[in-house]
Amino acid sequence: MKSNLVYVLFRRLRWPLVVMILVYAVLVLGFVLIPGTDEQGKPWHMDFFHAFYFVSFMGSTIGFGEIPHAFNGMQRMWTLVGIYASVITWLYGIGALLTTIQDPAFRRLMTDSGFQRKVRGIHEPFYIVCGYGDTGRQLVSAFADEGIRSVVIDHEQMRIDTLEIAALPELVPGVCADASQPDVLKKAGLEHDYCQGVIAITGDDEANLSIALAVQLLRPEKLMIARAEDPHATANILSFGANVVINPFKTFAERLALSLHAPGMFVLFEWMTGVPGEPLREPVFTPRGKWILCGFGRFGRAVYERLIVEGIHATIVEADPDKTGAPADTIEGWGTEAGTLKEAGIHEAVGIVAGTDHDSNNLSIILTAHELNRNLFTVARQNKRQNDELFHKADVDLLMRQGSVIAHKIYAFIRTPLIEDFLRHAQQHDNDWANSVVARISAVVTDEAPHLWQLEIGPGQTPAYVSLIGRHRITLKDIRRRPHDRDALLDCVPLLLKRGIKETLLPPDDTEIELGDQLLLCGRREVRKAMEWGAGNADVLAYMLTGEEHPSSLLGRWLASE
Amino acid sequence: MNTEKVLFAFFIVLALTLNFGFFLGDIAEPLQHNVYELFAALVVSLVATVLKLGDSSHIGAVFLATSLVADLQLIAAAIVWGAVQGWSETGLTHGTMAAVVSLSGGAVLANVISVVLLLAETLNVRR
């Protein structure tokens, strides 16, 4: 609390202040008592007011002059005493002040109370993000671009410093503390009404579990998204509350498997969870055949198991087969030298996965493998975002960027929850259906990842529709009309219509729209803005529906003519 | 024997005694109120205020408040006295003397409350 800070400061300055008051008092008293001699030789006395005035400007080293008459010897002697006493007292006081401010405990108190003040000052919905590594950085940056507020906790001071330097469009308060402690979460705003939920994406499964537990016990109604790499931790966090757990390795392994048996579906999934504005991913044709898998950690294991489901038995290359529990036919080695790879059968292989937890090893594996077999399909795991350029140059076919996988999934989940519903339905369709959807979406976006948005028919997002629905028939086609040219339609694809619990995939244009409907649409960013403009502005909407351009009286005329 | 506690109580009680000493006497008679005693009362009151800073408990807050009230009253008394003596044509009259003394009387009450609080805190500790 701010008052605590002030109290601590004053407590430290107590004795310097007392000494200063006493020194000033003695000096003032001295000047009052000591008789002066005026020009005629008659004695005069200073009164308290003038004595205080003189001592004030002497003590602050200003020194106007001897007033109202020149001082005699005794007064000047007392002035000498006063000069040295007051200046030394001031130095003592200022020294105490500086020592207090530089004290690490005091500075921690200052940053802490500053942080709490910033959190209290957030008057919009916000999320608490625990962990500011690669994932946290991408997520917070994506949130800030969309105008979603967040509060960051990380246990490394350097990362919090990075947060302060990053020029984000919104103010993101950050603190260096252990997020698994309940009072740290409370300070970060867990109990605020505006806090929407907690996202635990630290690098440590144990810490994420502790955070999930704390949130469940303190505020079970708030959203909780956690990241877990270990399957046991995943099951653990899922076992209490309604938490969402994201396992980056499992997610990627499932995508890889998808790219094997349904490349169209794979592209669709990638687009649905990509960050808008990124360059479009081209379809990937993962070959079937002999695969080599380097590294049997949690990532390697997840990939191996999915490949088995797809009917591919991969040869594993692992440096420590006993410790990781690798199957019997594992080749022992790093996979970074040609010898080990040849032993694994690199010349007959169609694909290789570099899945160790060191970027340098993975890059080395890919480079060596390319030299031995030019036609290999390469899959690599990138651990640290700073190696982006190296992996880009290595020309890997399928790159798993750990931080990105989680950040994208969380971002999609929070911003457009309908995506989850859409993907759930989409999985039940076959690859040809997915290809047709991909073709439709490609037609409306140019070469950037499609922008996805939700439209809820209601007073919040679409006030202009609210008064008209129910009395007049509004179809999906009307929503899609261009605000500037009502005979043309906006380039977008309606992906999902959710009415209550009923969900319709790819609703046709003549579907009637009711109040409370939720739509998931896909297109370019400008298209979204145009649609939201029409939905928010009654005059624009009236033009779109009837085609006449007169403002204000138009709606009345339309209602009257019906 | 805690030196800090001794000093703390010393200054608070001294503030009250000096203040009361100044206050005693005919309210309008300048000869019965010594200006040096007002000076001393003000200085000790300021010291007592500084000593009370830094305690964020409830009783600490009220403690500090009473001290600030006493300071305010005494400073006002000193200003009135100094202004009247220095700048007015009539100098120190019975009326202004009464004003100065009554202001210091208010400060006495504040100091009394402060001492009562000190006693209450001491009795609670009971060691």
Q: What is the pLDDT of residue A477?
A: 80
pLDDT, tens only, A62-85: 888 887 788 888 889 999 999 999
Q: Is the pLDDT of residue A440 over 60?
A: yes
Please say if the pLDDT value at position A463 is more than 80. Answer: no
Contact B50/A3, CB-based, under 8 Å?
no
* Distances in whole angstroms, Cα of residue A412 to Cα of each of A124, A143, A190, A562: 20, 10, 22, 42
Q: Please give the residue that has the higher pLDDT: either B70 or A419.
A: B70
User: Which CATH superfamily does the domain covering A450-561 fall into?
Assistant: Regulator of K+ conductance, C-terminal domain (3.30.70.1450)
Give the gap in angstroms from C-alpha B47 to the nearest C-alpha of chain A.
Answer: 5
Nearest residue in B to A53, CA atom:
B82
CA A159-A161-A165 angle, to 5 degrees, is 115
Cα–Cα distance measured from residue A378 to residue A400, given in angstroms and rounded to the nearest whole number: 11
Chains A & B: contacts with CB separation below 8 Å: 44
Tell me whether residue A296 is exposed, middle or buried, using C-beta atoms within 10 angstroms of its C-beta: 0 to 12, 13 to 18, 19 or more: buried
Share of chain B above pLDDT 90, in %: 58
Q: Check pLDDT > 90 for residue B70.
A: yes
User: Residue A430: its pLDDT value, please?
Assistant: 83
Banded model confidence at residue B127, pLDDT cuts 50, 70, 90: low
Q: Which two structure tokens, joined as six digits, stand for A354?
A: 């570099």
- Our CA-based measurement puts residue A105 at a distance from the nearest CA of chain B, in whole angstroms, of 16
Chain A residues 103-142 within an 8 A CB cutoff of chain B: none
Question: What secondary structure does DSSP assign to A135-158, as a single string?
Answer: HHHHHHHHHHHHT-EEEEEES-HH
Query: For chain A, what are the domain ranges?
Result: 2-102, 124-246, 249-402, 450-561
- Report residue A3's pLDDT band, with 50, 70 and 90 as the boundaries: low
- A214-220, long-range: CB < 8 A, 24+ apart: A214/A180, A214/A181, A214/A182, A214/A185, A215/A185, A215/A190, A215/A241, A216/A240, A216/A241, A216/A243, A217/A182, A218/A182, A218/A185, A218/A186, A218/A190, A218/A191, A219/A190, A219/A191, A219/A195
Q: Kindly state whether B58 is in contact with chain A, defined as any CB-CB distance less than 8 angstroms.
A: no
Of A163, A153, A162, which Cα lies nearest the Cα of A199? A153
Q: What angle do CA A260, A265, A269 make, to 5 degrees?
A: 110
Task: Enumerate the β-bridge partners of residue A496.
Answer: A505, A520
Q: What are the residues whose beta carbons fall under 8 Å from the beta carbon of A521, sequence distance 6 or more?
A: A452, A453, A454, A455, A492, A493, A494, A495, A528, A531
Q: Of B43, B53, B82, which is closest to A47 when you measure between CB atoms?
A: B82
Give A129 or A38, the one with higher predicted confidence.
A129
- Sign of the dihedral through C-alpha B18, B23, B25, B29: positive
User: Does the structure show a pLDDT above 50 at A1?
Assistant: no
**Residue contact B85–A21, C-beta within 8 A:** no
Determine the residue type at A51: A
Helix segments in A34-103, DSSP class H? 48-59, 73-102
pLDDT at A556 (0 to 100): 66
Rounded CA separation A53/B37 (Å)? 19
Q: Which residues pair with A512 in a beta bridge?
A: A475
How far apart are alpha carbons B66 and B120 in whole angstroms? 15
- Which positions 22-51 of B are in contact with A (Cβ < 8 Å)? 35-36, 39, 43, 46-47, 50-51
> What 3-state class would DSSP assign to A382?
strand
pLDDT of A547 above 80: no
Burial profile A465-487: b = 16 or more Cβ within 10 angstroms, e = fewer = beebbeeeebebebbbbbbeebe
Mean pLDDT computed over every residue of chain A? 84
Cross-chain Cβ contact A21/B36 below 8 Å: no
What chain B residue is nearest to A13 in terms of C-alpha separation?
Answer: B50
Minimal C-alpha gap between A106 and chain B (Å): 14
Long-range contacts at A389-394 (CB < 8 A, ≥ 24 apart): A390/A359, A390/A363, A391/A359, A391/A363, A394/A363, A394/A366, A394/A367
Q: Which of B35, B53, B56 is facing A48, going by the closest CB pair? A: B35
What does the DSSP 8-state code read for residue A385?
G
| pLDDT over 90 at A47, yes or no | no
Q: What residue numbers bound the domain in which B69 lies?
A: 3-125
Separation of alpha carbons A54 and A32, rounded Å: 11
Question: Into how many domains does chain B fold?
Answer: 1
Cβ contacts of B50 on chain A, cutoff 8 Å: 14, 17-18, 21
Q: pLDDT digits over A199-210, tens only?
A: 999 988 899 999
A29 and B CB contact within 8 Å: yes
Q: How far apart are CA A13 and CA B44, in angstroms?
A: 17
Interface predicted TM-score (ipTM): 0.82
So what's the pLDDT on residue A277?
A: 59
* Tokens describing residue A366: 């890919």
Handedness of CA A298, A300, A304, A310 (dihedral sign): positive
User: Containing H/E element for A245?
Assistant: strand A244-246
Q: Would the CB atoms of B54 and A28 count as touching at under 8 Å? A: no
**CB contact (8 A) between residue B54 and residue A8:** yes
For A185, what's the count of Cα atoms within 13 Å in the CB-facing half-sphere?
Answer: 28
The pair phi, psi for residue A369, each rounded to 5°, is: -65, -40
In angstroms, how far is the first alpha carbon of chain B from the final one? 11
C-alpha span between A336 and B71 (Å, rounded): 80
**8 Å CB contact of A18 and B54:** no
The reply to whether domains A124-246 and A249-402 share a CATH topology is yes
Q: What token pair was written down for A276?
A: 């808008």
Q: What is the mean pLDDT of residues A481-509?
A: 83
Band (A344; pLDDT cuts 50, 70, 90): confident
pLDDT at B83 over 90: no
Domain A2-102: which CATH number of 1.10.287.70, 1.10.150.120, 3.40.50.1110, 3.30.2270.10: 1.10.287.70
Residues A401, A403, A407, A409: what is their CA dihedral angle, to the nearest 10 degrees?
50
Residue in A384, A393, A437, A416 with CA at minimum distance from that of residue A138: A384
Which residues of chain A have a CB within 8 Å of the CB of B78? 48
Report yes or no: A28 at the B interface, CB cutoff 8 Å. yes
> Which SS3 state, helix, strand or coil, does residue A314 take?
coil
Q: B50: distance to nearest CA of chain A, Å?
A: 6
What is the pLDDT at residue B93?
86
Angle between helices A134-146 and A157-165 (to 10 degrees): 30
Superfamily per CATH, domain A124-246: NAD(P)-binding Rossmann-like Domain (3.40.50.720)
Instruction: Find the angle CA(A75)-CA(A81)-CA(A83) to the nearest 5 degrees.
Output: 100
For residue B86, the number of C-alpha atoms closer than 13 Å in the C-beta half-sphere is 13
Residue to substitute from B5, B11, B43, interface A, most A β-carbons within 10 A: B43
Supply the pLDDT for residue A310. 83
Q: What percent of chain A has pLDDT over 90?
A: 19
**What residues pair up with A293 in beta bridges, in sequence order?**
A316, A353
Burial class (CB in 10 A: 0-12, 13-18, 19+), A492: buried
Can you name the CATH fold of A249-402? Rossmann fold (3.40.50)
Measured between CB atoms, does B82 come within 8 Å of chain A? yes
A7–B51: do the CB atoms touch at under 8 Å? no
Q: Hey, of B3, B14, B47, B68, which one would you mutate to test binding to chain A, going by the most A CBs within 10 A of its CB?
A: B47
Q: Which of B53, B57, B68, B80 to mutate to test the interface with A (most CBs of A within 10 A)?
A: B53
